[in-house]
Chain A
């Protein structure tokens, strides 16, 4: 018995990796279709956008880059679909260097949706270039947008862009959306957009960061929140456009179950060894 316990305690880590890979791959190739109930924070995120008067101007902060694309990307895609569907105008801005490139990936992906909605670049939405400086850039953008981003991503002077014609500062926006993988992100928006200008803010946060933003959500500083890939999947279901997030949910369940089994099993082995009578 003690030999078995010792073997289990010192199991090769490659065996553990193999079990995780097999569990995830098996479910990806044979999806189960578990239901994904929608939670209140996601519902509030959706309602904050859907309840805006048609044609409202929304700031979408793409505060993530390639590394967080799998989790934040579906949030951005679903958000853009919802903005287009509810006929809002939006400005895509980013305090992260990879943000504009990510935006281009999703603008290309949603080209058919955008074209069929009649929305036109420059008139209904615009992409700004990377704004350097983190919080100082967020403060500058809120104070005077056209002075901070002198051109759009493609080099057109912002003074020539119709959707920004009457925009001076944060007060000209109806809602700020921050889809973030860390810093700069939600807290910078809270300090430089929400507190000074009373701007309603909704957020899409990585799973790892979502627990740290719960105090802001509970205090009402964040009106709605997507929490990780689960939040993205819920939003996709609400808007009726299931995509990459929904298709990953079953594999996510498998991965979580494997991790929980490892925690439980590892502790059983630990306890058995701890309370084993000596000499056996």
Chain B
């Protein structure tokens, strides 16, 4: 096997073989060749590779911040010190006893991490309120449909809707079930066809971009 084959073609062959085995194994039961075990183990191996890739990502993040620290990047390096210190603290505490079960590890998760994660997510509530007043302008029929649907669904979700008028939750429910349900079903069918087509292109080697640089 030449080096160009190993670099360029072998990955495509691996994608094709593993993909076809996964598909065939779904339709054919062949215990005599341990096909079921092969499928289970392939899924397991793929998940482990994903785990190592995650660790690669974390290492890359650490390297970026170590570079900021070593170059004393103005306005950034102090924050990088904080970040790296917390990464090391979390890893240090996580390695005590059974991985990730120490009370201090849980403390880091339950107090600072939960507080920050939820707060960052909740900031959008303010931007939604601001956009509702300043940007949500109904300029077309489509905009009107969007606004009406949004208002009725909001009044269905919030108990105040049912308290104001019994029709709000009923109409909201109808919007969710009929136009919303049907439109999202159209999305699901369309995206399923697209995903299958894309997967077939990957399996026959027409999409090499996903494999990255050679």
Contacts and interface: CB of A to CB of B under 8 A. Distances in A.
In the complex, are there CB atoms of A and B closer than 8 Å?
yes
Interface string A136-147: 110110011001
Interface residues of B, number: 61
Nearest to B186: A215
Interface string B149-172: 011011101111111000001000
A132 B159 contact: no
B88 interface: no
Contacts of B34: none
A16 B117 contact: no
Nearest to B147: A263
B56 interface: no
B23 to A, nearest CB: 12
A69 B101 contact: no
Interface in A41-72: 65-70
A70 B130 CA distance: 22
Contacts of A198: none
A214 B133 contact: no
Contacts of A252: 157-159
Interface residues of A, number: 66
Interface string A94-105: 000010110011
Contacts of A39: 169, 173
A255 B125 contact: yes
A275 interface: no
Contacts of B126: 16-17, 20
B61 interface: no
Contacts of B184: 211-212, 214-215
B129 A228 contact: no
A70 B118 contact: yes
Interface of A is mostly: helix
Interface stretch (A77-85, A116-124, A148-156): A148-156
A134 B177 CA distance: 29
A36 B129 contact: no
Contacts of A104: 106
Contacts of B141: none
A83 B54 CA distance: 34
A67 B121 contact: yes
A258 interface: yes
A257 B202 CA distance: 48
A223 B50 CA distance: 31
B176 A211 contact: yes
A9 B137 CA distance: 11
A20 B117 contact: no
Nearest to A98: B109
Contact of B133 (A211, A250, A265): A265
Interface in B38-54: 39-41, 43-44, 46-48, 50-51, 54
A183 interface: no
Nearest to A10: B134
Contacts of B48: 132-133
B167 to A, nearest CB: 13
A253 interface: yes
A100 B51 CA distance: 16
A230 interface: yes
A148 B158 contact: no
Nearest to B127: A13
A101 B177 contact: no
B6 interface: no
A266 B187 CA distance: 31
B177 A218 contact: yes
B40 A147 contact: yes
Interface string A244-271: 0000011011111111101101110010
12 contacts: A9-B134, A35-B163, A69-B118, A143-B40, A143-B43, A148-B44, A154-B98, A230-B159, A252-B158, A265-B133, A266-B132, A266-B134
Interface of A: 9, 11, 13, 16-17, 19-20, 34-37, 39, 65-70, 98, 100-101, 104-105, 129, 131-134, 136-137, 139-140, 143-144, 147-148, 153-155, 196, 207, 211-212, 214-215, 218, 227-228, 230, 249-250, 252-260, 262-263, 265-267, 270
Given A67-B118, A228-B157, A259-B154, 10 more contacts: A16-B133, A66-B118, A70-B118, A98-B109, A132-B48, A137-B47, A154-B98, A211-B184, A256-B158, A266-B137
A-B interface, 6 closest residue pairs, ranked by CB to CB distance from nearest? A133-B47, A253-B160, A155-B98, A66-B117, A140-B43, A256-B158
